[in-house]
Amino acid sequence: MAELVYISEQHVRKHLDSLSDEIKAVLVDAQYTKAFHHKTDLLCFGIYKDEQTISVDSNYFIGVDWIVPQKAAIYVEPKLNKESREVDFLGMLLTSLEATENLNHLDGLFHVDYDQPWITIPTQKDLLSPILIIQFLKLTQRIVRKGLKKSYYRVTENLNSKVKGKILVGEQIKENIVKNRLTNTICNYQYYGINNPENQFLKLVIQFVSSWLSTNEYFLGSQLLSLLQYCRPAFEHVAILDNKHQKIHCKKIHFIKNMKRQSK
């Protein structure tokens, strides 16, 4: 398992005294820096060697990233607590997303590098998941208010005493002719409705969110539960996406433009 270096203070250079000799040997001959993916002139963090000391200096960055892939990773924690009071960062995020004009400031807020190996962290240190869940539920809430997208999609159905679209001959023989269901016909046809891949994907994520919150009750506040209960009924007649790896084509730009137009 890779070593995980915890940093709880931003803008403060911290000595990495807890690193193993193996990792120190890797870092001793080079400097490691990580820039923001959307602002390459600004650094998330940097690893520096000063004489015999290895230290890290972090900027406006919270999250996890590799120092040495598969060997050592850095975890920069948010400043959640002040003295004995805990900062309600989830409540702050929920409140900030109530105003649609704040969509203008979401670009570059999150970045996930899917090409990098996974970094394992303790469950209690997972603060990224609830933040992503809040953003997803707030965006889904806006979609539900506007109405789920309708489009044409293919439907296969065993119709009684009627034919619609294309008859699936192989399935018809196997399911109806052989079983003497002579009034039934298996047809494949186009249907216009909400049970399309885009909405099926949203329902799949809603189910994941519900499952995640049920096992992480600490984050299941009244606001999150209310959001989840608001979104669920709209997907009652939407099936679950069968192929989780299916590519979903969404017109994100047009949606954002519409939201900005409504906020004016």
Q: Are residues 100 and 172 in the same domain?
A: no
Q: Which residues are CB-neighbours of 141 under 8 A, at least 6 positions away?
A: 227, 230, 231
**Confidence (pLDDT) at 257:** 45
Q: Is 117 left (phi over 0), alpha (psi -120 to 50) or beta?
A: beta
Among 166, 193, 220, give the residue marking a domain's end. 193
**Confidence (pLDDT) at 81:** 58
Q: Are residues 162 and 117 in the same domain?
A: no
Q: Are residues 155 and 114 in the same domain?
A: no
CA 217, 222, 227, 230 dihedral sign is positive
Among 193, 216, 247, give the residue marking a domain's end. 193
Domain that holds residue 95: 88-149+196-263
The whole-number mean pLDDT for each consecutive block of 10 residues of the chain, a chain of 264 residues, reads 70 73 72 76 79 77 81 76 60 72 68 83 77 85 92 92 93 93 94 92 92 75 82 92 67 44 44
| d(C-alpha 111, C-alpha 182), whole Å | 56
Q: Are residues 144 and 213 in the same domain?
A: yes
> Which residue type, as a one-letter code, is found at position 175?
E
* Alpha-helical segments (H) within 147-264: 169-172, 197-215, 222-231, 252-263
- pTM higher than 0.85 for the full model? no
Whether 73 and 67 have beta carbons less than 8 Å apart is answered as yes
Whether 100 and 107 have beta carbons less than 8 Å apart is answered as no
**Confidence (pLDDT) at 206:** 94
Q: Are residues 124 and 218 in the same domain?
A: yes
- Strand order across the 14-15 sheet: 14-15, 53-58, 43-50, 32-35
Q: Are residues 177 and 222 in the same domain?
A: no
> Which residue type, as a one-letter code, is found at position 35?
A
Q: Are residues 118 and 238 in the same domain?
A: yes
**Confidence (pLDDT) at 58:** 79
Closest CA to 208 of 232, 173, 190: 232
- Sequential DSSP letters for 151-169: EEEEEEEEEES---SEE-H
**Confidence (pLDDT) at 264:** 44
β-bridge mates for residue 32, sequence order: 47
Q: Are residues 205 and 253 in the same domain?
A: yes
> Which residue type, as a one-letter code, is found at position 108?
G
Rg (CA), the chain: 25
The three-state secondary structure class of 87 is: coil
Q: Are residues 105 and 134 in the same domain?
A: yes
Q: Are residues 45 and 140 in the same domain?
A: no
Q: Are residues 171 and 209 in the same domain?
A: no
Q: Are residues 186 and 225 in the same domain?
A: no
Residue 94 tokens read as: 């929920």
**How many domains are contained in the chain?**
3
Among 138, 165, 193, give the residue marking a domain's end. 193
